[in-house]
Amino acid sequence: MLKFRDIRVEDKELFDRYKSETSASEGSFATLYIWDDYYRAQVADDGEFFYYKFNVRDRIPSYYFPLGHGDPNVALDRLKEYCRANGHIMAFRLVNEEQLQKLMAYPGAKFVANEERDCEDYVYPTEQMITLAGKKLHAKRNHINYFVENYNYSYEEVDAATAVNECAPLMYELVSEKDHNQNPFELSAMKKYFDNYSALGEKGAVIRVDGKIVAMSFGEAIKNDMALIQLEQARDEYRGAYQMINKLFCENAWSGYTYVNREEDMGIDGLRQAKESYQPAFLVKKYTVVEDI
């Protein structure tokens, strides 16, 4: 029988050992780990598979699709046994299309799937993020031109000390100022990210104007042709700062990758408009999948 326990940052080693390449942002341990105040996550490891359990308030327990390189039906059998013993049905969240196919082929249960549009990741060609070529991205280039012409700026990759000592306080300030109430768990997620920055193995960069940080971005590679941008913030009073950090981070850190995943919009209208304005190549579809009994 599976034994779940609270998630720890040390579980990154297990997660990375069991995971397969995916275009979804959940291919990053940090994505699942830092939102723990919302997910109230627990994990289990049976030596063959890694299991991730969501204990979101006011919902039945649900799971991320088991990670491992063996027969997925074996993992689903074990998970079904656990669910039956604990009196609830099998339910899954943030299921990508490849995982959905495996669930629908599982002979031990019948599932119903519903698309989670608010959780779907926006994916862009990296070259497009660097050049911003084309008529539809003309406004982005105008913002960058303004930034270049009006600010004495520098770009730099950050080490752990800079991330923790300079970026973290600014991130907390900006998140607190910018519609924080739209996502009440965002500030705690940012704190968990920077409190565990070195252990999570992330990469980051900043733009300074006259020595002061005005924009920052952080991410990691999630597969051999795709980078994931997990955090990005900038001071609104510096026109073009957002566009500039996006361009320079892609150009300097991720130019060897074909695509950049810039995560989901969480159903926030302004964020959706911003992500759509960059003309994504595709969205990574995700589903809630529930056992039909």
| Rounded distance between C-alpha atoms, residue 76 and residue 63, angstroms | 11
- Closest C-alpha among 152, 131, 108, 76 to residue 250: 131
Angle between helices 186-195 and 168-177 (to 10 degrees): 180
231 three-state secondary structure: strand
The pLDDT, as a whole number, for residue 179 is: 59
Backbone angles phi, psi at 161, to 5 degrees: -65, -45
Q: Are 23 and 223 in contact (CB under 8 A)?
A: yes
The pLDDT, as a whole number, for residue 176 is: 87
Segments of the chain assigned E as strands? 5-6, 42-45, 50-54, 62-67, 91-95, 111-115, 121-125, 153-158, 203-209, 212-223, 226-234, 259-261, 282-284, 287-291
**Across the strands, what pairs with 239?**
none
Stated pTM of the model: 0.95
When pLDDT is averaged across residues 88-96 and rounded to a whole number, the result is 96
Angle between helices 138-150 and 241-253 (to 10 degrees): 100
* pLDDT above 90 coverage of the chain, percent: 91
- pLDDT tens sequence across 68-81: 999 999 999 999 99
Backbone angles phi, psi at 202, to 5 degrees: -85, 170
- pLDDT tens sequence across 9-27: 999 999 999 999 999 999 9
The pLDDT, as a whole number, for residue 183 is: 75
- Whether 97 has a pLDDT exceeding 60, the answer reads yes
Which domains does the chain possess?
Answer: 5-119 (3.40.630.30), 121-263 (3.40.630.30)
- pLDDT tens sequence across 171-200: 999 998 875 556 788 899 999 999 999 999
The pLDDT, as a whole number, for residue 108 is: 84
